[in-house]
Structure 1
Amino acid sequence: MATSCYQWFLWTATILLIAVVSQGQLTTDFYDSTCPQAATIVKQKVDEIVDADKGMAAGLMRLHFHDCFVRGCDGSVLLNSTNTTLAEKEALINNGSLRGFEHIDDIKMDLECSCPGVVSCADILAMVARDATVKLGGLSWPVFLGRIDGASSVADEVNSSLPFRTYNFSQLVATFAKVGLDTKDMIVLSGGHSIGQLHCGAFFERLWDFQGQNITDPSMDPEFAESLKAQCPRDNPLLFKGADSTNATFDAVYYSDLLTHKGLMDSDVALMSDPLGVEYAIKAVQDPYYFLFEFGMAMINMGNIPASDPYGWRKNCAVIEPCNN
């Protein structure tokens, strides 16, 4: 099916969702009267950022993901630690792996210059994730806006909220279910690994020490494994490897790699351990636009995870200094 048809269906399906999403007070026209240029400012900045560094697109998308899974979509991932509390960004799973904080600050500064005290940090993350995905080939989706920033960010809450790279299918389903997302959302959002890079350490065990036996995971394609070993030597797990074979393009190749035993992390490969995961991967490979469309729908679902402790609109995304409440 042509891209334009999927976009039409995307918009139609979204309109049907408006009644549900509006219950959370999120709307696509939230800033039309208070900051009509907001979406344009964000898109222009994201275009500049990704033109300068394509790898940053994945980082910007991950910020939204890591934000919404902890305390809901409230911008808490952007907060700095305080004298009394270690923030989410300092949690082991986030520290050193999340990127793009300075870019969010730049975007926020531009928005504050144009319409002070209006656009929330949480909404910026939602818009940025969409625009970064589209910049590398994804389909656009309507971003519902009106999120309120949170006032707390606690590192200890991260490990119990985010999925780990070692999770099996059941653990992944359970983690997504805790925030109201279903199995299909989990499978589709995993496709975010279509772009970006990973530390070789993220799949070191599968490559060099599977189940502690000093061997390579026998389920991995042998030729692919040898290629990986050349890129990720045993003594240097801090080198980087593209998340899939077309890591600078947002596409369905991620699922093709999984079907041909070329997945990287345990949590990626886990999708192929369940019939639903296999079925979806086959559909995505047979019709790549199907994945692009479904990804937009899943991002809308994720972006609607409610904040557990909304506070106000933060003028500075890194500190508690609300413009209004």
Structure 2
Amino acid sequence: MASSSPRTLLLLVLAVAVVVSDAQSQLSETFYDATCPQAASIVQQKVNAFVDADRGLAAALMRLHFHDCFVRGCDGSVLLNSTDTMLTEKEALLNKGSLRGFEQIDEIKMELECACPDNFTQLVARFARVGLDARDMVILSGGHSIGQVHCGAFFERLYNFQGLNITDPSMDPEFAAILKVQCPQTKPFGFMALDATNGTFDSAYYLDLLTNKGLLESDVALLSDPLGVEYAIRAVQDPMAFLNEFGWAMIKMGAIPALEPYGWRRHCAFVEPKY
């Protein structure tokens, strides 16, 4: 039997680490097979880049895997941050300052979520859990009218859509060609504006979606449902109405109850002491 390379081992380690928070009690290395077949290649690319930049990270990641799985089973608990009422494994006396690789795992997980987002139905369900409806979801997505996104967030759509080494056929070909110049396959480290009028908050984001020039799969997913298409068209046809609706949706989102209310603070970064 051929021996596995260190990078292959790390790929398996990270593949488990990035799914464990979603899989809950059912761990599976095939967790993403149906919904995100390119997951393994994303993890592999990121691990290769990280280890090339820091050779010592290979040992650090394997140590993380051991500390998580050997002590209490592979539950991802070593990745948790401490709170006021709970000291987690990563900050325990014997581990604090000695375990590392957390930032790299977070970055890999973030890229997976960007490359393999929820579909429209799943997105609606997520918003519903906090009291927001489908309309709120589509309107709040208009926040992508301003800002930039890392090339890695849409790398798979450009070069390896669904693991097939092709460009997403739903993307406008001329737009894809522009993206490939800004985000070459060999150096996908740049940033792209989220819509055509970068820096101006308007409804151009929806026009981009309707003309197949959306960047993120989560944005494109909005048009997979007639309701999303309807709201997108309305935003393009009546930009002022969109701005008004966006404002109200932000207010509604701001009213989502806190899971653990901390009350009034003198300084935003510090919780007031309890006497």
- Range of TM-score over shorter length: 0.5 to 0.7
Give the 3 Å change call, closer, same or farther, for CA 207–256 of structure 1 in structure 2. same
Aligned to 2:245: 294
CA contact (8 A) 1:313 1:323 kept: no
CA contact (8 A) 2:157 2:167 kept: yes
Aligned to 2:184: 233
Q: TM-score, normalised by structure 2?
A: 0.59
Unaligned runs of 5+ in 2: 1-80, 92-101
Q: Is 1:84 aligned with 2:35? A: no
Mapped to 2, the partners of 1:296 and 1:193 lie a distance apart of: 14
Q: Is 1:203 aligned with 2:206? A: no
Q: 1:84, CA displacement in angstroms?
A: 2.4
Equivalent residue pairs, number: 181
Q: Is 1:213 aligned with 2:168? A: no
Mapped to 1, the partners of 2:139 and 2:106 lie a distance apart of: 25
Aligned to 1:139: none
Aligned to 1:310: 261
Mapped to 2, the partners of 1:324 and 1:313 lie a distance apart of: 12
Mapped to 2, the partners of 1:313 and 1:163 lie a distance apart of: 34
Give the 3 Å change call, closer, same or farther, for CA 237–311 of structure 1 in structure 2. same
Mapped to 1, the partners of 2:201 and 2:115 lie a distance apart of: 22
Mapped to 1, the partners of 2:159 and 2:236 lie a distance apart of: 29
Give the 3 Å change call, closer, same or farther, for CA 279–163 of structure 1 in structure 2. same
Mapped to 2, the partners of 1:264 and 1:323 lie a distance apart of: 44
With a CA cutoff of 8 Å and minimum separation of 6, indicate the structure with the bigger relative contact order: 1
CA contact (8 A) 2:114 2:216 kept: no
Give the 3 Å change call, closer, same or farther, for CA 228–197 of structure 1 in structure 2. same
Taking only the aligned residue pairs, the percentage that are identical comes to 63
CA contact (8 A) 2:115 2:217 kept: no
Give the 3 Å change call, closer, same or farther, for CA 235–193 of structure 1 in structure 2. same
SS of the residue 2:264 aligns to:
strand
Q: Where does 1:165-180 land on structure 2 (aligned, <5 Å)?
A: 166-180=117-131
Unaligned runs of 5+ in 1: 1-79, 97-157
Give the 3 Å change call, closer, same or farther, for CA 164–317 of structure 1 in structure 2. farther
SS of the residue 1:241 aligns to:
strand
SS of the residue 1:311 aligns to:
coil
Q: TM-score, normalised by structure 1?
A: 0.50
Q: 1:81, CA displacement in angstroms?
A: 5.7
Q: 1:239, CA displacement in angstroms?
A: 1.0
The alignment's C-alpha RMSD in Å is 3.3
